[in-house]
Amino acid sequence: MQVTVWQAPGPKAALQRASAQLPEPGLDEVVIEVEHCGLCHSDLSMIDNAWGMSRYPLVPGHEAVGRVVAVGSDVDSALIGQRRGVGWISGSCRHCPLCLGGTGNLCASLEATIVGRRGGFASHVLAHQDWAIPLPQGLDPAAAGPLFCGGITVFSPLIDEGISPTARVAVVGIGGLGHLALQFCRAWGCEVTAITTNLSKAEEARGFGAHAVLGLDQLAQHSGHFDLIINTVNHSLDWPVVLGALAPLGRLHQLGAVLEPLSIPAFALIATRRSVTGSPTSSPASLLKMVELCSRHQIVPQVEHLPMDRINEAIDRLRRGDVRYRFVLDAPA
């Protein structure tokens, strides 16, 4: 099958529209005709080979939504026509203790959508059926794409770490991840504080569910307060101050991919049993629960749409941080 892709020919290159041969779907794979695909910061890291694992030509895009148009021989043909979403992960082995135990996002045989595979900036994308998540009624398919990477990334600490609805939660950074984290934490029942260096976003943060908005430099005045701090920022912070803002037993959950080591004072952990954790998206089970919660609570990414042919404009603007809060590229009509 001939398909259209938007691909980077080499590191840091602009994407070019091209034609490619789509492989036959594997036994348990589905072919999705892409309607919409969100643009994530990880797409930029992969285009730039910032993590040293990019292969070119590289087709980015890992927040894809579209309809199933073909299935592998082990997949029920009733899936054809269903609308499904695909995120960072397209497949896992399904047989190891992690997959069987419901933590398939930690599988050693994980297949990432844009690592050695072609992603969602394309007319069609392949995924294993477990990782192609059905969209429930009430979820707008045009805006849902960013839930499948950005959304599940911030939903993971709540569901996978068993956060209580009575928890006091702070979200650091009000961007593509943070604006979704605020919505999830509010729906979860928590006391929600948004923390930003850009207080011009304060009103929008309250609209996303924040009970309070603090400047990052005000965090030192809230020592011992938060049960969970979700950090979406990918550069170093004043870690002793951030840890000091945690209550006893509190958790700093790191989602921003800071490249330099985190410098953590041991006593900030020892005296109060605080912990520092992180997570890479989540399992298909958590994805299914996430979209259901989004449908029930009208949790929606705030997106700006551009046609797929203007992908390079979206990439340039995301590099400058010029988007509130996520781009979604739409397939040609």
* Chain contacts with Zn ion (rule: CB under 5 A): 40, 42, 92-93, 96, 99, 107, 149
Shortest distance (Å) from residue 40 CB to Zn ion: 3
Shortest distance (Å) from residue 74 CB to Zn ion: 17
Which one, 160 or 191, has the nearer CB to Zn ion?
Answer: 160
Picking from 288, 39, 298, the residue whose alpha carbon sits closest to that of residue 155 is 288
Picking from 93, 113, 122, 132, the residue whose alpha carbon sits closest to that of residue 53 is 113
Q: What gap in Å lies between CA 201 and CA 285, rounded to an integer?
A: 33
Shortest distance (Å) from residue 160 CB to Zn ion: 17
Rg value, the chain, Cα: 20
Shortest distance (Å) from residue 19 CB to Zn ion: 26
Which one, 167 or 255, has the nearer CB to Zn ion?
Answer: 255
Q: What gap in Å lies between CA 26 and CA 75, rounded to an integer?
A: 10
Picking from 65, 63, 61, 59, the residue whose alpha carbon sits closest to that of residue 6 is 59
Shortest distance (Å) from residue 109 CB to Zn ion: 5
Tell me how long the chain is. 333
Which one, 60 or 209, has the nearer CB to Zn ion?
Answer: 60
Q: Where are the beta strands (DSSP E) in 146-296?
A: 168-172, 191-196, 212-215, 226-231, 246-254, 275-278
Shortest distance (Å) from residue 195 CB to Zn ion: 22
Which one, 107 or 299, has the nearer CB to Zn ion?
Answer: 107
Which one, 89 or 246, has the nearer CB to Zn ion?
Answer: 89
Which one, 40 or 158, has the nearer CB to Zn ion?
Answer: 40
Give every CB contact of residue 127 below 8 A, 6+ residues apart in sequence: 29, 30, 32, 84, 86, 90, 91, 113
Which one, 96 or 262, has the nearer CB to Zn ion?
Answer: 96
Q: What gap in Å lies between CA 187 and CA 94, rounded to an integer?
A: 31
Shortest distance (Å) from residue 267 CB to Zn ion: 35
Picking from 110, 122, 13, 3, the residue whose alpha carbon sits closest to that of residue 64 is 122
